[in-house]
Amino acid sequence: RTFNASPKIRQTKLLCLAEFGPVFVQEPDDVIFSLDSDEKKVMLRCEARGNPPPTYSWFVNDTEVHAEADYRYSLIEGNFIITNASEITDYGRYQCKAENSFGTVLSRDALLQFAYLKPFSTKTRGGVSVREGQGVVLMCTPPLHSPEIIYSWVFNEFPSFVAEDSRRFISQDTGNLYISKVQPSDVGSYICLVKNPVTNARVLSPPTPLTLKTDGKPTVVHQ
């Protein structure tokens, strides 16, 4: 007895045999890579389906990357892998291209950034002297970092942190601490603490002493 395939099954087989241009299944995403990572490898993912199966190439900042030209580069299926990645040589916008005889597709941009936090300078910071009731700004002067960092201040000793209120404000743009109407209770040592939210690394600045002027002379701020 002969069994004929149903129209639905025959249609499915025809679709499986049909040739078509590449269509992305996965495009690369932005990556922030920690330079402190034990992995030491960055992977930018790319996958496309097509018939015949597509071939892949990669571009960085609109220039094609030749994997064979750098021992640190490798291409596994569509994924682009960088070993011993460096901010100096590898920071940039990456795109994946998939192509076969029926078409070519170019992925969205994926930005590769690097996360790091250098230590503060160990140079001793000068004290700041202000009259009671006046305002003062304590400069954080953060070290080199990427991406943006989170600022806080330690008062006298860790873990006593400066609490922001109607008189005290910490700028998350500069890290500077603003104190209005300084009171005797504000006198002490101030240390800027910065945290990299990607690596969770933290570093502390040298202390900045804050004192009250009592000599009646004009206020001079030393930093």
Superfamily of domain 118-212 in CATH is Immunoglobulins (2.60.40.10)
Q: What SS3 state is found at 186?
A: helix
Distance CA 161, CA 155 (A): 6
Give the separation between CA 31 and CA 75, rounded to whole angstroms. 17
| Main-chain dihedrals φ then ψ at residue 80, nearest 5 degrees | -105, 125
Architecture of domain 19-115: Sandwich (2.60)
Residue of 116, 178, 113, 125 whose CA lies nearest to 143 = 116
Number of Cβ within 10 Å of residue 197's Cβ equals 12
Q: State yes or no: cis peptide before 52, omega within 30 of 0.
A: yes
Q: Cα separation of 111 and 128, whole Å?
A: 42
Domain limits, CATH 2.60.40.10, in the chain:
19-115, 118-212
- Please state, rounded to an integer, the average pLDDT across all residues of the chain: 89
Q: What is the pLDDT of residues 119-155, one digit of tens each?
A: 999 999 999 999 999 999 999 999 999 999 999 999 9
Query: pLDDT tens-digit profile of 19-41?
Result: 999 999 999 999 999 988 777 89
Q: Give me the pLDDT at residue 210, please.
A: 97
Q: In the structure encoding, which two tokens stand for residue 215, read together?
A: 């000599």
First to last CA, the chain: 97
**pLDDT value of position 8:** 53
Residue 187 has pLDDT above 50, yes or no: yes
Q: Does the predicted model carry a pTM greater than 0.75?
A: no
